[in-house]
Amino acid sequence: MKDKMKSTNLAFSTLVMILFYSINSFAQCSDAGICQLGGHSMDDKGKSLFDISASYKFGYSGKEDDVQFHSLQLSGNYNLLDNSSIQFAFPYNIQSGPYGDVSGIGDLILSLNQKLFSDENSSFDASLGAKLATGDDNKDNLPQVYQSGLGTNDILFALNYSYDKISVGAGYQLAGKRNNNVYRLERGDDLLLRAAYNFQLNKLSINPQILFIQRLAKSSILDTTSVQETFVEVDGSDQAQLNLLVLANYQINENYSLFFDFAVPFIKREVNIDGLTRAFSASVGVNLSIN
């Protein structure tokens, strides 16, 4: 019994060290919301009626903008039926940089998830959701990178197929109209392709994912040099990005688990007119399952 307790304590201590190390070392999927839809379930949430989690995320834009990001997020998953669930994610964001500090609630993400097919080895799921413009997108007339919200109501859609420990998926984000930021930003739609593999190590699940995100059109902003209201496209704002995203979950007991994520960008967007580019970020949180 003592040896088992020592092994458990060692595994837990190692996980905690990894959590805090990852906060200072890696990047996360920098997107407008589609990364949060599909492909993130590493444990069988169908076993519980309701899951609620709280997490903290830290990020940095890079030296060019020199903005730090802190985000506290409340998320939940409710299983309506055996094969259907609804999810929400609601953040409170803080941005700090050379032009000042801005804080406020972020954009609410809601989704409906449906398992279309499943057998002993495979499953096929679909998710339909929305990112709602609940956050401020023009506080203090600062650039978009300082804002807590994107200022648009977007439609999200994702498909995910899993076979044994391997899964592949695709997602699409239909961007809303021009926002009210000082630059009157209008983003293009996003296409997401995902491939993942799940490792199960006793109570620890590790889920590495390759994410390819393609912005399908250039962003456009207000032409501040023109007397009339005209808009110009931003060169390079439709660049693709490629990330290695790693999710991990440690099951403490039947009801509680710890989770964290980090990512390394292989291809990073150089143009940050939408404020979504991160030089690095990572998050850590706790989940409660109610049966």
pLDDT tens readout for residues 169-200:
999 999 999 999 999 999 999 999 999 999 99
What's the structural domain count of the chain? 1
* Residue 230: Cβ within 10 Å count: 11
pTM: 0.85
Mean pLDDT to the nearest integer, 231-246: 92
108-118 and 122-132 strand pairing: antiparallel
Contact 129, 109 (CB under 8 A): yes
CB 115 within 8 A of CB 124: yes
DSSP states of 203-271:
TEEEEEEEEEEEE-S--EEE-TT-SS--EEEPTTTT--EEEEEEEEEEE-SSSEEEEEEEEEEEE--S-
- Kindly indicate the confidence band of residue 257, based on its pLDDT and cuts at 50, 70 and 90: very high
| Nearest partner of 30 among 66, 57, 64, judged by Cα | 57
We report the CATH number of the domain holding residue 237 as: 2.40.160.40
Domain holding 266, by residue range, is 2-290
- Paired tokens of 172: 């699409």
Q: Which DSSP helix (H) or strand (E) runs through 12?
A: helix 2-23
Residue 6 clears pLDDT 80, i.e. is over it:
no
The CB density around residue 71, as the number of other CB atoms within 10 Å, is 18
CA-based max dimension of the chain: 77
* Residue pLDDT, tens place only, 53-112: 999 999 888 888 999 999 999 999 999 888 899 999 999 999 999 999 999 999 999 999
Query: Contact 26/189 with Cβ under 8 angstroms?
Result: no
Strand 231-233 to 220-222 pairing: antiparallel
Instruction: Give the integer Cα–Cα distance in Å for 247 and 27.
Output: 12
